[in-house]
Structure 1
Amino acid sequence: MTALFINVDPVAMLRQASQETTPDPIAGALLAEIAGVDGVVCHLHEDRRHIQDRDLRLLRKTIQTQLILEMAATSEMVGIALDVRPERVTLFPESDTDTAGKVNLDLIVHNKSIAETVGAIQSNGIPVSLFIAPEPEQIKLAHQVGTDGIHINTYTFCSATGVNKRRQAMAKIVDAVKLARKLKLTIFTGHGLDYTTIKAFKGLSEVEAYSIGHAIISRAVLVGIDRAVREMRALIDAL
């Protein structure tokens, strides 16, 4: 069964914006687990704009499914990952604004440093994925640096306007998934996926997990997190 991971960053974003103690991303994660998610994703930014160190450590202590830590390839973050020991680390480019869905790791430019970070984390028994664009060269380089898997960025597809642009973007994702499978990489996808765009992935059985945050949390504001998760779970089960 294809997995559904919920990203709880949007819950932390609301909390930080209001400068209050609620809503609580840990409570959101626990409710999402009850509703049927297979893992919880959080992104610890270097500036701690959303998820805080305390959130990460509480998630590690409380959730019963997988914990996936998204982070930059820095020595500080590697140290935190090795201390907290999530089930998986996904390496992201770091930026000073909320553009994670638009910016990908560039393995042409940062090949050596990413390879070193991947090795440091894997040597401590933690699998690593890389957040990359659906481009053949990037996928081949991901394989060369020894990563366990990739997280294919779906933002371009989800934000495409017009039938042709969306078809072209989806075709690139399909080709990327097929190539990654040939290279025996674990395949996750996400960023921008919602209750409509997820339907375009029907038949793409090579994808092992979808990581979705904003769409589910936005829906949860209206109908509650239990229903929001169950609706997305049903859509993924039908793919």
Structure 2
Amino acid sequence: MTVPRLLINIDHVATLRNARREAAPDPVHAAGLCMQANAHGIVFHLREDRRHITERDVRLLKQTVHGKLDFELSTNTEEVDICCDVQPELATLVPERREEVTTEGGLDVTANAERLDAVIPKLKGAGVEQVALFVDPVPHQIEAAAEAGAHAVELHTGDYANATTESDRFHELDRLATGAEAAHQAGLRVHAGHGLNYTNVQPFVRAVPHVAEVSIGFAVISRAVFSGLPQAVRDMRHLIHTA
């Protein structure tokens, strides 16, 4: 059984900083604490409206994080150009709407095929090692991701995380397992994230095969308010490794 690597999303640290337009808490400092607590990498989303992570953060993270950087971005030209310049190990293309609080669903790969046909080769040509697409666990979208030239898919786990009944949770886990198997068969690395927390991560790890890494942010940052960030990261790592 694959034990997923844990990447911590630090966007919410930047959200707190920006709420008061202060210099603290610094998401770059948070990233360092996460890595000291043995996270495998750091995730950040440079949104078009810069509501949390800024270009300054991105460039400092590239300079200071000695681990995997997952640069989440839309296919907007400005953010793609910044990603090409920064050259993270992983770029994850996600859908983005200004009115949403957080990303609400997977990228429609088939509907955006023409744009992806331009963006993915551009990222690869600039030296980005891996390109992933954030998708719902739908086989035809996963197949389209492989055809578009992605190295990986990040399965959207939000529907599982938001399920309110046991039967719905089992149904969503089954969808995720089917999606993970489809991605594996298509030769794609399997990543996952969105809404995973200290309660639901172990059932997910047990049920869904082939997951190489998980991206978790809000749950860890929320716990860190009370326990401290390093301990919150260690607690999540423990749950994943003992699942």
Instruction: Provide the TM-score with structure 2 as the length reference.
Output: 0.95
SS of equivalent residue, structure 1 residue 26: helix
Matching residue of 1:53:
55
SS of equivalent residue, structure 1 residue 90: strand
Matching residue of 1:218:
222
Q: CA deviation at 1:201?
A: 2.1
Matching residue of 2:29:
27
Instruction: Spell out the pairing of 1:120-131 with structure 2 (5 A cutoff).
Output: 120-126=122-128, 127-131=130-134
Instruction: Spell out the pairing of 1:28-107 with structure 2 (5 A cutoff).
Output: 28-107=30-109
State the alpha-carbon separation in 2 of the partners of residues 41 and 61 from structure 1: 15
Moved more, 163-172 or 90-99: 90-99
The 1:99–1:134 alpha-carbon spacing in structure 2 relative to 1, beyond 3 Å, is farther
State the alpha-carbon separation in 1 of the partners of residues 103 and 231 from structure 2: 25
State the alpha-carbon separation in 1 of the partners of residues 180 and 35 from structure 2: 27
Q: Is the 8 A contact 2:161 2:195 kept in 1?
A: yes
State the alpha-carbon separation in 1 of the partners of residues 157 and 134 from structure 2: 10
Instruction: Spell out the pairing of 1:77-226 with structure 2 (5 A cutoff).
Output: 77-126=79-128, 127-203=130-206, 204-226=208-230
Q: Is the 8 A contact 1:189 1:207 kept in 2?
A: yes
State the alpha-carbon separation in 2 of the partners of residues 95 and 179 from structure 1: 28
SS of equivalent residue, structure 2 residue 211: coil
SS of equivalent residue, structure 1 residue 47: coil
Among all aligned residue pairs of Structure 1 and Structure 2, give the percentage whose two residues are the same amino acid. 37
Moved more, 216-225 or 108-117: 108-117
Q: Is the 8 A contact 1:70 1:92 kept in 2?
A: yes
1:230 and 2:234 correspond: yes
SS of equivalent residue, structure 2 residue 91: strand
Which deviations, in whole Å up to 9, do the C-alpha atoms of 1:79-104 show, x marking residues without a partner?
A: 10111111110001121034443132
Unaligned residue ranges in structure 2 (runs of 5+): none
Q: CA deviation at 1:111?
A: 1.1
Q: Is the 8 A contact 2:123 2:131 kept in 1?
A: yes
Instruction: Provide the TM-score with structure 1 as the length reference.
Output: 0.97
Q: Is the 8 A contact 2:137 2:156 kept in 1?
A: yes
Matching residue of 1:7:
9
Q: CA deviation at 1:18?
A: 1.8
Unaligned residue ranges in structure 1 (runs of 5+): none
The number of residues matched between the two structures is 239
Q: Is the 8 A contact 1:101 1:153 kept in 2?
A: no
State the alpha-carbon separation in 2 of the partners of residues 174 and 227 from structure 1: 30
Letter matched to residue 168 of structure 2: K
Moved more, 33-42 or 95-104: 95-104
State the alpha-carbon separation in 1 of the partners of residues 99 and 17 from structure 2: 17
Letter matched to residue 205 of structure 2: K
State the alpha-carbon separation in 2 of the partners of residues 2 and 214 from structure 1: 18
State the alpha-carbon separation in 1 of the partners of residues 98 and 89 from structure 2: 26
